[in-house]
A and B are shown apart, each in its own frame.
Chain A
């Protein structure tokens, strides 16, 4: 089965609100990454957090990692309609491959 599980599966918010997505995984990891996918397109890398880091920021993105709980969260602050997309977490367990979660579909209404 896939390593990552994400919740919620879908999230609908208003512009300006914050969006939080969660990801859980099963095995030890080297790093955890978040990707964004616009409808019908490929994935775009957003942010990476290493296993020895607890929090990372990039613009309006904030990622946390709790290796004891094997979980991560992605927070998008002050969301915009253009943030509407699917968001995937992916774990790198040093095997050279990434294992993707099921994704959270975010809808930001203007």
Chain B
């Protein structure tokens, strides 16, 4: 099991609410990622970070934002949730200083916006 944790595991909220999905890792990895995945579908990269105070948008446009104030913590925020945000959100991390770029994933947050 990888040492990367996501909370909450499940979240059901109403439209317009602000939410923050938490992701923490204890492996000291510099690189962290957020993916969005609909059931049975491929992963889409929505945000990534290569270190503290570094964040970039991924390949899939997302209304969410991220921050990276500490190496171990990479939270994702939705200012005003909508039904179209209903999906599974996966956080991952990988180490620098290696050519392998193996990613370690959290268990995911399944978000449902009513």
Interface residues of A (CB under 8 A from B): 2, 30-31, 33, 35, 40-45, 48, 86, 88, 90, 92, 96-98, 100-103, 105
Contact = CB atoms under 8 A, between A and B. Distances in A.
B42 A101 contact: yes
Given A42-B90, A43-B90, A96-B31, A48 B41 contact: no
Contacts of B103: 43, 45, 90, 98
B110 A40 contact: yes
A88 B43 contact: yes
A48 B100 contact: yes
A95 to B, nearest CB: 9
A102 B6 CA distance: 23
Contact of A42 (B42, B45, B50, B107): B107
B5 to A, nearest CB: 10
A88 B105 CA distance: 13
A86 B108 contact: no
Contacts of B40: 86, 103, 105
A27 B97 CA distance: 23
Interface size bucket, B side?
20 to 34
A92 B59 CA distance: 15
A97 B100 CA distance: 11
Q: Which 6 A-B pairs have the closest CB atoms?
A: A42-B105, A100-B43, A102-B42, A43-B105, A92-B101, A42-B107
A103 B42 contact: yes
Nearest to B110: A40
A103 B40 CA distance: 8
14 contacts: A31-B99, A31-B100, A31-B101, A35-B105, A40-B88, A41-B108, A42-B105, A43-B43, A45-B103, A96-B50, A96-B101, A98-B101, A98-B103, A103-B40
A44 B101 CA distance: 13
B108 A40 contact: yes
